[in-house]
Structure 1
Amino acid sequence: MKNSITPSVPARGPADHEVRDQIVAAATEHFSRYGYEKTTVSDLAKAIGFSKAYIYKFFESKQAIGEMICANCLQEIEREVRTAVAEADLPPEKLRRVFKVFTEASLKLFFRDRKLYDIAASAATENWQAVQAYEARVRTLLREVLQEGRQSGDFERKTPLDETATAIYLVLRPYLNPLLLQYNRDTTDVAPAQLSSLVLRSLSP
C-alpha cells in the first residue's frame, strides 16, 4: 500500500526554499495567537520581520499561506492514519483503523488549538485546494483497502469499487470535515467503531 503524500498547494519561488518554510512556521505561530481571519498580510509581515512585498515573492495571498498550513495539518493526519493502517494485517482491521484514527487524529489536530481551527474552518467552508486534494487522497486510501479486501476474499466484489469507496467516504466525512466534526464531537467515542462495523457488514461477500 502506498505511503507517500504529495503536497498539493502551489507556491511561488523555489519549492524547497528555506524562507518559505520560515514564513509558514512564523505564520502558523501568528495565526495560532491572533487568529486567521483577523490577520492581514501586513500584520504577518510586521510580526515576521519581512516586508509585505517579500512575502508576496513566495505566496500570492494570505489564503496561499493558510493553504500551506492547512495542507501540512492534513498531511499530518494522513500520515498517522496510513501508519496505523500499514500496521494492521487484515483488510477489515485496516478499515476499522481508518475510521478510528481519522477521527482521533482530526479531533486532536483541529481542537487542540482553536485559533488554528479557524484556518481549517475557512478551508472547509471555501473548499480550498488543500481540502479537495486531501479528500481525494482519503478516497484513494479507501479504494486501496477495499481492493486489498476484495483480493483476500474479505469484501464483496459486485458493487463498483469507486461507488463503494465514495459511499464509505460519505459515512466517514462527518469525522473528517472540521465544520461537521464540531457538531459530532459527542458521538466520536462510539461512532468510529459502530460505523466501521456497519460498513464491514455491508461489505461481507
Structure 2
Amino acid sequence: MGRKKTSELDAAVTRQGIVETAEQLFRAVGYAKTTVADIAKALGMSPANVYRYFPTKAAINEAICDRLVHSIEVKSWAAAGEEGTATERLTRFVIAYHTIIISSIIKEKRLYDMVAVAMDEHWAVVKQHSYRMCDYLCIILEQGMAAGEFRKVDGSKMAITIHEALAVFLYPSLLEHRVNEDDGRGTILDDLRALLDLLLHGLCANA
C-alpha cells in the first residue's frame, strides 16, 4: 500500500512538472511552436514518457488553462473580501476579474493564444469555469438578499443573467475586441462600472 501511494504521488509530481515546464515553453516560444519533444527535452525525459501522462499537447494545454482559470477565480474572490455590502463585494469581484484578464491574458499574446486554443478545443474547462463564476456571484447575491440589500430573486438564475450580461468584459475572446476598439482611451473600465451600476440598481431592494 505504501508503494502505491508513493507511485501515485510520483505520478502527480511528474504531471505537475510537465504542466509547469510546458507553460514556461508556451509563454516563451508560443503554443504552436512548442512540441511535445521540446517539453520532454526540457524535462530530461523521452517524448514517450510525456505521452504516458498526457495523450496530446492539447491535453497539456487543457491542464494549464484549467489551473490558470482556478487561479484567476481565487484571486478575484479574495478581492471581493468579506467586508462591505454585497454591492461593494460583487463590484470588487467583477472588477478584479476583469483587471486580471486584461493584465495577464489580453496583454500577453502567447498566453492569450493558449487560452484561445483551450476555448476552441476544451470547452469543458471553460464551461466548468463559467459554472464556478456563477456560483461565486450567487453566493454574494444570496448574502445581499439575506441582509435585505437586494430584492428577493432566484439567486442561481440571476447569477447566470449577470454573468451573461458581463461576458463581454470578462472573457478573453470577447474582451480582446473591446480592448482593440478602446484605442487607448481607457473607457472599458468606465463602461463596465456603468453596466454594473445598472445591474445592481435593478437588484436593489429599495429601487
Aligned residues: 192
More helix by share: 2
SS of residue paired to 1:189: helix
Question: Cα offset for 1:127?
Answer: 4.5
Query: Do 1:41 and 1:62's aligned partners in 2 also have CA atoms closer than 8 Å?
Result: yes
SS of residue paired to 1:183: helix
- Bigger drift between 15-24 and 137-146 goes to 15-24
Give runs of aligned pairs for residues 49-88 of structure 1, distance below 5 A.
49-88=44-83
* TM score, norm. by length of structure 2: 0.85
Question: Cα offset for 1:45?
Answer: 2.1
Aligned residues with identical type, % of pairs: 31
Residue 12 (structure 2) pairs with residue 17 (structure 1): yes
5+ long unaligned stretches in structure 1: 1-12
Query: Do 2:101 and 2:170's aligned partners in 1 also have CA atoms closer than 8 Å?
Result: yes
Residue 162 (structure 2) pairs with residue 168 (structure 1): yes
Deviations 1:147-185 (A, max 9, x none): 00110111111x322221111001221122111110122
Larger radius of gyration: 2
What is the RMSD of the two structures over their aligned residues, measured on CA atoms? 1.9
Structure-2 separation of matches of 1:88 and 1:204: 19
Q: 1:105 aligns with which of 100, 117, 132?
A: 100
Which protein has greater RCO, CA pairs closer than 8 Å, 6+ apart? Answer: 1
* TM score, norm. by length of structure 1: 0.86
Question: Which aligned segments of 4 or more residues in structure 1 are displaced greater than 4 angstroms?
Answer: none
Q: What letter corresponds to residue 59 of structure 1 in structure 2?
A: F
Deviations 1:37-64 (A, max 9, x none): 3333233323433211111121122121
Q: What letter corresponds to residue 108 of structure 1 in structure 2?
A: S
Query: Do 2:149 and 2:204's aligned partners in 1 also have CA atoms closer than 8 Å?
Result: yes
Structure-1 separation of matches of 2:52 and 2:164: 39
Give runs of aligned pairs for residues 125-204 of structure 1, distance below 5 A.
125-157=120-152, 159-185=153-179, 186=182, 187-204=187-204
Structure-2 separation of matches of 1:175 and 1:201: 19
